[in-house]
Every structure is written in structure tokens, then in C-alpha cells.
Amino acid sequence: MSSKRVVVSLAVMAMVVVVGSWHAVSAFPMQQAGQAAVTSDQPGPLERAAKPITPENPIPRRLVSTSPDYPSEVATSGARGTVTLRITLDLTGRVVEVRATNVNIRADVPQFNVSFSNARREDRDRLLKMQLGEKDAATASSILDTMTKAATDGARRWSYDPPAEAPISFTASFSFAPDTPTLSGQSVSAPTARPLPGGLSGITKTADGALRVGGNIKQPTKIRDVRPVYPAEAQAARVMGVVIIEARIEPDGSVGNAQVLRSIPLLDQAAIDAVMQWRFTPTLVNGQAVPLVMTVTVNFTLQ
């Protein structure tokens, strides 16, 4: 072969290698060691390429699970609620992509109770302005951003066993209340129980002032029941069981907050979404409606 043909052949081979490498990196971008996980409100390339969760490819065991602090920036607002994240792992079990899929937050200052699913920030803020006005909407937007950031920052520090097939994506929920942050079924700081004055034996209060069901405080009657929507990926993976939730029942009987005590990761968010729509009879103490904290269960069974 002539030297000219050799040069041409080598050039063609180099072009093939470059193009092939570019395509591989585009389809499966690599994360450098130590690089932070990507946070976005839209599915990233690895989430879009995620392998399905099946009995053969289950959600891996969590090895490191650091707990976020309740954000001090929103302490005066009394903000509480749940942030649900979509977490994507790489083949080593590292969290490489995180995005918030649902944010359900209520606050006292300004007073609001909102839930957004996969909403763009500009759309969310436009709706807040319509509901709250310009000034309070700006404060509410800041609260939502702060709570979401606390959840995503916490999730980025998690690590897992390597999945059977990667990448793999799943949901996890962080629930926040003043002094009582929790994450995906694990209690981080349990509320302090203290006896009520007035000689009412067996009645305790949580740190944020709600009464706990027990003793002289009976569980209220549910007057509105909403069944959970069985997630398709949980059905495909044949995941069943009981999710145990601690719910805060407001004086009007609505559910103000719900946090998972016993987790089934593929079912947690569906359970929370259902419980947040339940309604109960108000509980009266000395003729006054009071908030309650009680444990409820959501059962998932495949036919």
C-alpha cells in the first residue's frame, strides 16, 4: 500500500474514533469523581435512559443518608410540607441527578397552602401572584425554593449500593416541619412530647403544639377517603405492602402535613398524595378545635 493510501486510511480511522466517542459521551455522559449531582426541574439524560425497576433490578440499599436541617431562613413562616424528588443513580450507586417532582408546602406567614407538580418556576410564581399578590407571592416563592433546595442538597449527599442495572431512577420524599425534619421514612428529630396542663391525663403535645392521639384524645372519624393511585412502576415490579404515615390533622379536619414513618420507596409518594386529601371530623378540647398528630396506614395490594 502506498504511503498516500496509508495516510488517508489513518485519517478515516481517526475520524471514526472521534465521531464514535462523541456519540457515546452524548448518549451516556460521565460524571467526574467528586462532581456534584445535577439538579434540574426537567429529566436529565441519565434519568431518561434509566432502566426499569423490577424484582431483578430493585432500588438499591441506601448506605449513606445524611439528614437536612430545617431551613433557618423560613423558621418564622412556620413552613411545613413535603418535597418529592426523582433521584437517579449511576453504576456505582452515586446520586448523579436530582429533580423535584412535587412540592407541597403550607406556611403561616404569609398564609398559603400550595402544591406544585413538575411546574416550571415562572409558571409557579405566576400562579402565586394570582393567589397571594405581588409581595406575599415573592415571600412564598422564596420559601418554596428554600425548602426544595434543602431537600435536594440532602439527597445529593446520599449513596447506595451499586444497582443491578444502571442508571436507575426512583422517588424519595423529604417532609419538613419546624424542628422536625424527616426524610423518606426515617425520622430525623422526633417531636418532643410534653404533658398538657389542666389535669388532662394521658394527653401530650408535639413541639409545634399539636396534640397526639392517645389517652383521652381519641382518633377522629375520617369523613373523606381518597384511595391512592397505584404507581405503574410499582405494579410492574410487583411491589406491595403497607406505608405507615404520621399525619397532622388541622383544626378544620384537613390534613396539613404527612410524613412517612415506614417506607416502601415506590409507594411512598402515592400514599402521601392520598392522605393529604383525606378529611376528618374536628377534635374539640374544652370546646375548641385543636390540631392533632396521629399515625395512619395506606395499604397497597395487587389483585
The Cα–Cα gap between 247 and 260 comes to: 9
Q: Which domain holds residue 233?
A: 191-300
Other Cβ atoms within 10 Å of 239 Cβ, number: 21
Predicted confidence band of residue 2 (pLDDT cuts 50, 70, 90): low
Other Cβ atoms within 10 Å of 61 Cβ, number: 8
The whole-number pLDDT of residue 298 equals 94
Predicted confidence band of residue 237 (pLDDT cuts 50, 70, 90): confident
The reply to whether 114 falls in a domain is: yes
The reply to whether 271 falls in a domain is: yes
Looking at per-residue pLDDT, the higher value among 166 and 257 belongs to: 166
Which of 171, 203, 233 corresponds to the end of one domain?
171
Mark whether 49 and 166 lie in a shared domain. Answer: yes
Mark whether 43 and 158 lie in a shared domain. Answer: yes
The reply to whether 183 falls in a domain is: no
The reply to whether 134 falls in a domain is: yes
CATH of the domain at 103: 3.30.2420.10
State pTM to two decimals: 0.54
The Cα–Cα gap between 210 and 234 comes to: 34
Mark whether 167 and 211 lie in a shared domain. Answer: no
Mark whether 195 and 285 lie in a shared domain. Answer: yes
Q: What is the pLDDT of residues 82-118, one digit of tens each?
A: 788 889 999 998 999 998 888 878 888 888 887 777 6
Count: domains in the chain: 2
Q: What is the pLDDT of residues 37-82, one digit of tens each?
A: 555 567 889 999 999 887 788 878 878 766 667 888 888 888 888 7
The whole-number pLDDT of residue 52 equals 86
Looking at per-residue pLDDT, the higher value among 138 and 215 belongs to: 138
Mark whether 143 and 210 lie in a shared domain. Answer: no
Mark whether 166 and 43 lie in a shared domain. Answer: yes
Q: What is the pLDDT of residues 175-200, one digit of tens each?
A: 777 755 444 433 333 333 333 444 44
The reply to whether 115 falls in a domain is: yes
Average pLDDT, the chain: 76
Residue 16 has pLDDT above 50, yes or no: no
Looking at per-residue pLDDT, the higher value among 165 and 75 belongs to: 165
The whole-number pLDDT of residue 217 equals 83
The reply to whether 130 falls in a domain is: yes
Mark whether 67 and 162 lie in a shared domain. Answer: yes
Of 9-23, 149-163, 166-180, 277-291, the range with the lowest mean pLDDT is 9-23
DSSP assignment of the chain: --HHHHHHHHHHHHHHHHHHHHHHHHHS----TTPPPEE-SS--HHHHTPBPPBTTBPPPPEEE---PPPPGGGGGGT-EEEEEEEEEE-TTSBEEEEEEEEEEEEETTTTEEEEEES--HHHHHHHHHHHH-HHHHHHHHHHHHHHHHHHHHHHHT-EEPPPSSSSEEEEEEEEE-TT--EETTEESSPPPPEEPSSS-TT-EE-TTSPEESBTTBPPPPEEE--PPP--HHHHHTT--EEEEEEEEEPTTSBEEEEEEEE--TTTHHHHHHHHTT-EEPPEEETTEEE-EEEEEEEEE---
Diameter of the chain measured on Cα atoms: 104
The reply to whether 8 falls in a domain is: no
Mark whether 230 and 196 lie in a shared domain. Answer: yes
The reply to whether 181 falls in a domain is: no
The identity of residue 144, as a single letter, is L
Which of 121, 143, 171 corresponds to the end of one domain?
171
Q: What is the pLDDT of residues 128-161, one digit of tens each?
A: 888 888 888 899 889 999 988 888 888 888 888 8
